[in-house]
Amino acid sequence: MCGIIGIIGKAGVAPLLLEGLKRLEYRGYDSAGIATLVDSRIERRRAEGRIVNLAARIEKEPIAGQTGIGHTRWATHGIPNEINAHPHASSKVAVVHNGIIENFQALRKELEGFGIHFETDTDTEVIVHLITHYLDEGLTPEAATAKTLHRLEGAFALGVIFANESSLMIGARRGSPLAIGYGDGEMYLGSDALALAPLTSKITYLEEGDWAVLTPTGVTIHDETDAVIERKIEKSAASGALEGKGNYPHFMLKEIFEQPAVIGDTLHALLNPVTRTIVLPDLPFDLAGISRATIIACGTSFYAALVAKYWLEAVAGLAVDVDIASEFRYRNAGMPKGGLAIFISQSGETADTLAALRYAKKQGQHTLALVNVAESSLAREAEASLLTYAGPEIGVASTKAFTTQLTVLACLTIALARARGAIDHADEARLSAALTEVPSRAVEVLNHDERLKGLADDIAGVRDVLYLGRGTSYPIALEGALKLKEISYIHAEGYAAGEMKHGPIALIDEGMPIIVIAPSDPLFEKTASNVQEVIARGGRVIFLSDRTGAERLGRVAAATIELPEVDPFVTPILYAIPVQLLAYHIAVLKGTNVDQPRNLAKSVTVE
């Protein structure tokens, strides 16, 4: 993870580096720092914790310099203190790094053999000393960096500046994304176009193995063999405005409340409400010819994949495998010809998901990326992509990205079902109509916020929480548990309701709240039986259902939230909302940092 930025500017760059880092904070917030060239010497300011700490430090101790690099860190090697904060530097070179150098132990040993002293526990410091070592041998900055890059194993995006070279900056990419930005007599480096958006919209995305030499007037890009290569300049659509929280106390709450609107925006792109049909953008493969689908993702996006498996199998009659990207990429999975591999990712930069995409391409699969960031690596590398129109998601816990992913997947399900002849026009119209109702139903769900806040009071003090669901409600149970874990730090587990009696029912006692996700769908009675089993053992059930479901269960649950009655097809989209709100209010009561929970980062660019 980590975010990096670099600027060869015309005036003092510290404020611009800080602004860029704020835009990259979603990538990590353990520590931050900048390095600039002041009178051709490398100067640094670094601070533990969030960018505000670095800003305070720079206010006390301002830093000049027209060329500089900056970094916001998600710690991999070495605890997140100031010593381990980037940029790392010698008297000759300063480096910011996103990724992991896998052979750093061997390189460190080698360099220590030359009498070089290491100050930090990081893997990055070997890059500083290797480049310095080659500079000491008389190589130019370009040659010293190129030679260093060939010695590194692992994943990285790098930004490097050199003492006495105020018009030079080098960037390199292998495994982690890096963009070059073009200004007027200025040049920029950034982990993404968003970081550079206030500076420029002219962007070149480096390809795997590329390294680039920047001067104030341009860039020379080399490929992995060091040959000079042209890469195209694109116009980025990333907005220069920094997202604000509006009147909300947290981004997460704002993003939860944006869901009716962004689900509507996403539907608007894919569904014609007049004809009640799904209209996908042109795809470079024929949906009717798809023999099997494999859906791959991580975390919350993986739970969206799991919902899609139920949908695609039931509605489109398509065989579907779903897999966690970090497992899939090393499993040597056989992928039959004619298969479609779908990759779901909010950021489009998740390292494991990207690796899985590359594997699937090698297996001859058609590849489709479902992303929220149109210019992301996943979107650029997949054969085709579908966008979620969630807008920037700043809260680290994913909310609106998840429900818009589900919305796209629901549309894709209908399109695939139609192409395969599994549904007729009447079915398509019914399912489409159910989808068009989701934004207004989502507003009704949000009206339960106060009630959920009240329930949060009873849960905030507990140690463990269980979430149960069947069918498409099972992934929502998993998602509810993940939301609670990541922002409230309460242990929670999601279980398939029918699986309870195979072990976890032993956990049930009066102290354990059990959140049951049970819309009145064809599996309702089965889930209701499981609820009775839990209640018979003293379990305290919070029942998320609709009026019909609540009546069918009777008054046995400790609390019931009555959600709108909708077509069972769309319930996972709507039932995601109360579990988000519950987690949010519990976290607020616990006083955690809701938007930036401990140990996490928004974009996971290391494996």
Active-site residue list: 2, 602
Nearer to ligand F6R, 417 or 477 (CB): 477
- Least distance from C-beta 472 to ligand F6R, angstroms? 18
- Least distance from C-beta 405 to ligand F6R, angstroms? 8
Q: Which of 596, 602, 600 is nearest to 194 (CA)?
A: 602
DSSP string, 447-500: TTHHHHHHHHHHHTT-SEEEEEE-TTHHHHHHHHHHHHHHHH--EEEEEEGGGG
- Least distance from C-beta 482 to ligand F6R, angstroms? 6
**If residue 417 lies in a helix (H) or strand (E), which one and from where to where?**
helix 400-419
H helices of 10-50, in order, are 14-24
- The percent helix, strand, coil of the chain (3-state, each to 5) is 40, 25, 35
Query: Per residue, what are the HEC states of 357-414?
Result: HHHHHHCCCEEEEEECCCCCHHHHHCCEEEECCCCCCCCCCCCHHHHHHHHHHHHHHH
- Least distance from C-beta 396 to ligand F6R, angstroms? 6
Nearer to ligand F6R, 395 or 513 (CB): 395
Residues 213, 344: Cα–Cα separation, whole Å: 33
Nearer to ligand F6R, 271 or 401 (CB): 401
Q: Which of 524, 507, 501 is nearest to 571 (CA)?
A: 524
Residue 61 Cα distances to 6, 29, 152, 309, 440, angstroms: 20, 21, 35, 55, 52
Nearer to ligand F6R, 73 or 418 (CB): 73
Q: Which of 178, 174, 205, 237 is nearest to 373 (CA)?
A: 237
What residues have CB less than 8 Å from 535, skipping those under 6 apart? 541, 556, 557
- Least distance from C-beta 236 to ligand F6R, angstroms? 19
- Least distance from C-beta 571 to ligand F6R, angstroms? 20
- Least distance from C-beta 369 to ligand F6R, angstroms? 10
Across the beta sheet with 339-345, the strand order is 320-324, 292-297, 339-345, 366-371, 384-387
DSSP string, 105-127: HHHHHHHHHTTPPP-SS-STHHH
Contact 259, 442 (CB under 8 A): yes
Tokens of residue 261, six digits: 């609107």
- C-alpha distance across the termini of the chain, in Å: 9
- Least distance from C-beta 302 to ligand F6R, angstroms? 7
- Least distance from C-beta 397 to ligand F6R, angstroms? 4
Beta-carbon count within 10 A of 427 CB: 14
56 CB burial (10 A radius; 0-12, 13-18, 19+): exposed
- Least distance from C-beta 26 to ligand F6R, angstroms? 10
CA-based torsion, 225, 226, 227, 228: positive or negative = positive
Residue nearest to ligand F6R (CB): 299
Residues engaged in binding ligand F6R (CB under 6 A): 298-301, 345-347, 350, 353, 397-398, 482, 486, 603-604
Look-up of token digits 């890469």: 231
Contact 120, 88 (CB under 8 A): yes
Nearer to ligand F6R, 149 or 356 (CB): 356
Residues 155, 153: Cα–Cα separation, whole Å: 7
Look-up of token digits 């060869």: 8
Nearer to ligand F6R, 135 or 373 (CB): 373
CA 424 remoteness from chain centre? 36
Measured N-to-C along each axis, helices 400-419 and 425-436 cross at an angle, to the nearest 10 degrees, of 170
Look-up of token digits 């009447």: 426
Nearer to ligand F6R, 276 or 483 (CB): 483
Nearer to ligand F6R, 20 or 299 (CB): 299
Nearer to ligand F6R, 55 or 583 (CB): 583
Nearer to ligand F6R, 9 or 494 (CB): 494
Contact 203, 234 (CB under 8 A): yes
